[in-house]
Structure formats: C-alpha cells, structure tokens
Amino acid sequence: MTRLETFLPLNPPTEQDLRANLYLQFVKELSTEWEMSEGYFRDKEEDRFRQFCHQEMKLLRNWTAHGQIIKVVEKQAAFFFMIAMRAWFDLEPIIVMDYEQELSVVFHQFDFFTDEVKTKLSRSYMDLYKTCKKEHIFCNGIFFSDLFRQLGLSADKVVCEKQSERLFYLNFWHALNPAYINSITPEQSSVVNIQVGFNDDYRGIETKGHIANFLARLIWKESFT
C-alpha cells in the first residue's frame, strides 16, 4: 500500500495527460500481484463476485503489462481500486465500505432495470465476438472473459486500446451473468449453430446495499452507452 501512495500525490497534476499517466502507473502497480488467478466460474453464487474481482485484476495486470492500456481516467482508477480491495480482503458483500462511498462521487449513478440486463449482455457479447472475428481471433471458450483474454493475446494494440475501457466494465456484468450453451443445432455435416444464453441467478446485482448492486449503478453508463 505504501508504494501505491506514490502514485496518489496530495496535489495531482492538473494536465489531463499527466494525470492519466499517473493513474495508469497506479493501476499497473495495483495489479502486479495477480500473476495467477482462477479462470473458471464456481457453482456457488456467493463465490462469483469474488472470483470476478480476481479475474478482473489478472486481466488488468496482463493488459497494462503489455501496453494495451495507455491511459487511465479517474473513474477507472476508482473502479479498479475498489475491485482490488474486494479481491485482497474478505469484505462483507452486503456492506458498502465508507471508502467505496467516497470514491463513488466520480461516477454518475444510474438506476437500471434488471430486465434490461440480458439484452445488454447479448449485444455486448456479440460486439466483442464480431471484433474477434474481424481480427481473425478464434477462442476455445464461450465466456465473455475468454473472448476478452484472447483479444488481449492476439489483437493489434491499437484495437485493444480502443476497446479496453469499456471491456473492463462489461466484464463485471458478464462475470456475474456468465454465458452458457443453450442449444446446439446441426445445420450441415460440418457446421453447427450454437445458441448462447446468459445466467441471471446472481441476486447481488438487484439487491440494494450489496456491493454488486452498488457497482452496477456506478458503471451502467460506462458499460452500455
């Protein structure tokens, strides 16, 4: 934590580019501990948010280490810090901490309807899938994080830079509502159509006072508009 303080001076630079570079150095340092992270979704609902936090920090570590993020704004720095603390410490998910409330002031909170989420998930999943296909990237897994990870491994840095801010926010929604294969329909002897659905059994997103609901309201606009 002492090293992190180096990147959070009492009088940060006023120039936007210098401030963005400072926040980038901050999140790079913040994510250095995540050399290893679980890459699967557990069955127990209560584990899903914590697993997302570790997965997000692992992805952040990879993307910052390989220069696929070139600037970080205040909202991103605040979001990643909250996620890192939830990964590091066993904090009660139904309690929003004081520091999280303080960091939330850099966001514009939005109330959302859970019925909207599935449509947003489907569209954002297809957007990323199309990006990967355009870049000739093929992924073995069906999770959003599988596509996200493979994009980082295979795509041009410019493509990653353009996508990075939104993808890290979207990964929150897709990690808590992971994809599953709904049906497989044979079309030809060498072709099948696979229909992907999205789980909607994680109640934290719609539970007032839960950290997942708190974060969801903070990042709705950044994720889907």
pLDDT greater than 60 at residue 95: yes
- How does pLDDT run across 64-91, given as a tens digit for each residue? 999 999 899 999 999 999 999 999 999 9
pLDDT at 209: 93
- Asked which of 31-45, 74-88, 113-127, 164-178 is least confident by mean pLDDT, the reply is 31-45
Q: One-letter amino acid identity for 176?
A: L
Instruction: Calculate the average pLDDT of the chain.
Output: 87
- Alpha carbons 115 and 36: distance in angstroms, whole number: 35
At residue 190, the pLDDT reads 72
What does the pLDDT look like over 168-213, one tens digit per residue?
999 999 999 999 988 777 766 677 788 889 988 888 998 999 999 9
Q: What are the residues whose beta carbons fall under 8 Å from the beta carbon of 191, sequence distance 6 or more?
A: none
- Predicted TM-score of the model (pTM): 0.88
Three-state SS at 151:
helix
Q: What is the pLDDT, as a whole number, of residue 39?
A: 47
Residue carrying structure tokens 């850099």: 106
Per-residue pLDDT reduced to its tens digit, 181-190? 887 777 666 7
Q: Please, which pLDDT band fits residue 102 given cuts at 50, 70 and 90?
A: very high
